[in-house]
Every structure is written in C-alpha cells, then in structure tokens.
Structure 1
C-alpha cells in the first residue's frame, strides 16, 4: 500500500524541466511570428544567391545565344537585358555579391565596434574621451561622401571586398556606443570585481567577461549591420562608385537598367529593387525578434 501511495504522489507531482539561457532565447524568438517568417525568407534568399547558380543553366555573363530585351518567360523568368544577359542568373550573382559585402561588414564592423565600445566603457577617463570623440567626429562626416571618395580612388574600380572593407571601417560607430553603454553598467558588477581580485588582466576581463555579457547588444547590432551594408552598397553602386562591371551587384543592376526600366523594360528595375527591399525588411524583422528574445526584461519561459 505504501508503494502504491508513493507512486500516486510521484504521478501527481509537478515536474519542471530546467532550461538554459539560450533555450529560453530561442523559445522567445520563435514566438515572434514576423521574425520567424523573415528568417525563413532570408534563408531562401541565401540559398537563391549561393546555391541557385549551380542549379540554373545561365550565369550572369553575356551570351550570344540569349536574345536581347526579352520579358519574363519560362526560358528567362526574370527576362533579359539589352546585352543579352539572363537576368535570373544576373540576380543570383548580384544578390551573392551584395550578401558577401553585407556579411563581411556585419562581422568586421561588429568586432571593431565591440572592442572599441568595451575599452571605452571599461577604462573610462581619457581613454573613453578619446575613443568617443573619434566616434563623434566620424558621425559628423557625411558617410556617403567619405565612402564614395575612397571607393572612387581605387584603381580599376572597386570590387566587392573593397566595398566590404570600406563599409566595415565606417560602420562600427553605433555598435561602439551601444556596447559602451552596456559595459559602463557591467563594470561595477560583483563578477567583474571578483575577476580583478583574482588577478585577471584588463584584456582578459574585457574579452572573457564584459563582451560575452553584452552579446545580446552585439548580436542585434550585427544583424542590423547586414541591412545597413546592403543599402549602402546599393546606393554606392547605383551612383557608379560601388562594385564595378564585369562583376555585378543589386545596385549595379538598377543603375544599368537606366531610363528604359520605367517604360517597357520594367523588370530590369523592379526585380532587383524588390530584392533589396525584401532583404532589408527581413533583416529588420529578424533584428526585432532577436532584440525581444535577448532582452532580459522579457517574460521568462519557465517550462
């Protein structure tokens, strides 16, 4: 009887399953419907750009057997341009190169911004003053003017890696400010004092304690940097100062469309334009979802 009573108590007991921080973050993120839908769309865009060229019969180059000025059809779903280039193949390459720029900028600018912001917040004093004055000065300089000037000075025209480097060098400012604000509050916490008392070096404390604890800000910032890089590269390429032919990018496709895009050859302008809008929107929704999921003030998931 005692065994039966014990079994009944165990069956009625409320059990909880402990979850780690990242498990709760993922749960909160997948409850953000717009972010999840955007993530699916963004993955499809990445597959389109990086896997699509291996599956489609035409590349982004000019072929003599491709007719000019053909509208969207079964043979050429995105049509062809004046030179006889399949626009679906060109869209795949253009999206790939724009994404290459965006991903490199996201990583590079986030690393620079995280290190600068963490050092400014940790050391404070004159170090903070110098670093933040540099940030203020760079914020004042018109971004498009300075990047266009550097890109235009490159012999032979800018390639995608040139654009990625230029945008990364000037794209870390907002990340640095956000990380600095977080570090200013974290540096007074007990675990930082314990790390100092244990003899941890400044570099060890910054890289092993402060930066990992600002990861929520860093991840969201890195996500939004993708949209920033896509739009910046598009603008520069449209002005003729970004990625140069014979390579291509989304901005270069729009620039090449010319005035004819607003008449009978509408697809040359609107299809690349729609891709740019789609990438920017999905990245912003993903960033919103990550911000909500990583915010410690969100309701905790207990089961």
Structure 2
C-alpha cells in the first residue's frame, strides 16, 4: 500500500507564478505574521502523528491528550489573534472614514476661508478707497478753510465793483476833458490860421502903400518921445522886408501880437500851453518900450548895433534851408 500512495516528484508540476502573484505573496508575508500559523501546523502534525502512530511504535494515551489540548489551545489563540486582527481592521476602517470626514470638513473650511478672504480683500479695498477719499476731503477742506468766507468774498467783490464804477466815471470825465481840450486846440489852430492870413494881408498892405516920413520930435519932452515911438516903429517896419524879423525883436513880440488879437479864453489856453504867464508877457512889453526909447536917440539914417546877427531873408535862403524864424506862427512857404 505504501508503494501505491507514494507520488513521484517528477509527476508534480507547479505552475510558475506571475509577477503580480509574487508581489502579493511578498506583501502578505511582510504584513502578516506567520509564526502562529506555523505553530498551529506543528501542533497539528504532532497530534496527528500521535493519533495515527506507525505500527512499529505505540504512543501512550496521555501524550495524545496533551497534544490535543496543546493543539486546541494554539488554535484558540490563533482565533483570538484573528479576531484581534479583524477588530484592528474595523478600527482602521473607522479611522479611514473619520479621516475622510475630517478631510472633507477641512476642505469645506478651506473653501469657506477662501471665500472669507476674498470678501475681506473686497472690504479692505473699500476701506482703503474710503480712507483715500477721506484724506483728499481733509486736504480740500484745509484748502477751503484757508480761503476767506463767502461774506468776505461778497464784500471784496462789492468793493471791486465800486472801484470799477469810480474808474469808469473818472475815465468818462477824462474823456470829456480831453474832448474839450481837443475842441479848444482846434479853435486855437483855426485862430492861428486866421492870424496868419491877417498877417499876410497886413504885409501886403505895407508893401502896397509907402509910409510918409514924420517930422522929428524934440527929445526933451517925454510925451513927444513916447508919441513918436509908434512912428519910429512904423519906419523900422517899412525898412524890414517881407519875412524878415526886426532888429532887437524876438519871437516873444510875435507871441504878444498874436495874443493881443485873440480872445481871453484863447489867451488863457495859449499861456497854459506855452508855459509863460501873463506877467512875463507884460515884462516883454516893458522891455520893448525901453528898446523903443533907445531907438529914439539914434539919429535918422543910423543903424542900431545889435549883438545878435540878423536873420536871413527868406528869399536869400538856399533851396532846402530852413530860416531861424520858423515856428508855429511863421508864414507857410511860398509856392
């Protein structure tokens, strides 16, 4: 019987393991402790060998019971270890679930914190904008406080308007005065033109009618000398050619002549424009009378010595040369 039950090792062929199976076996051996299983297998073989002894050897009954008790004890300990492993697995599963719940809670809290951070960012931006506007408002308020109040501004505007009104009134007054002065100046120019025409007519009449020689007067009487003064002046006027100024006379005599023929208002204007008062004109008339008395002492036919040179006659002037007697009252040039 023993020969028939023996299996030859050549007939057993173990299929080769794949890589995944080898990895699973290695992982199982690493994670699981096989010592209790090996002890159970050893106890089982010991008990089986004692229960089914060989015909040659006989095993006592006490040893068989001991082996059976040892096998049962080892089997119960292995069962306890398995239950313990099951409990550990269940605890680990619960821990995994707790971990998943905690992870989900943390993720939800993280999302809530993200949303809160975004809201806080928006609130911070609004706060910064409000603060910046408040600072700008404070700066504008400080600038406004540096300016005067509304009542003061209205008062200043009112004063400026009054000043402008006064300036306009003064401007109108000055304009009226200027227009009056202009009209007076126009009237003076007209009078001067008429005087120039009268002077030309007088000179023409003097050249047309020869003057008679008066009888000499006695130098003793003052009245005779004074009465002969106009005649001597007429003689001297006859000897002066047209456009020539008499000896010892200057432009002041012409001014006196023109002022004697003008009205009082025009004389006032001329005295203001020329800058010479009436007292100076009177002094010039007195000097002219003294010079006339001196001319009476000069014998007929003699020429009085004048320190100033005679002015050139207009006819003797070269073309383009101006005479010394040219002034505002001089005659216009001959055509």
TM-score (norm. length: structure 1): 0.21
Higher relative contact order structure (alpha carbons within 8 Å, sequence separation ≥ 6): 1
* Max Rg structure: 2
TM-score by length of structure 2 reads 0.20
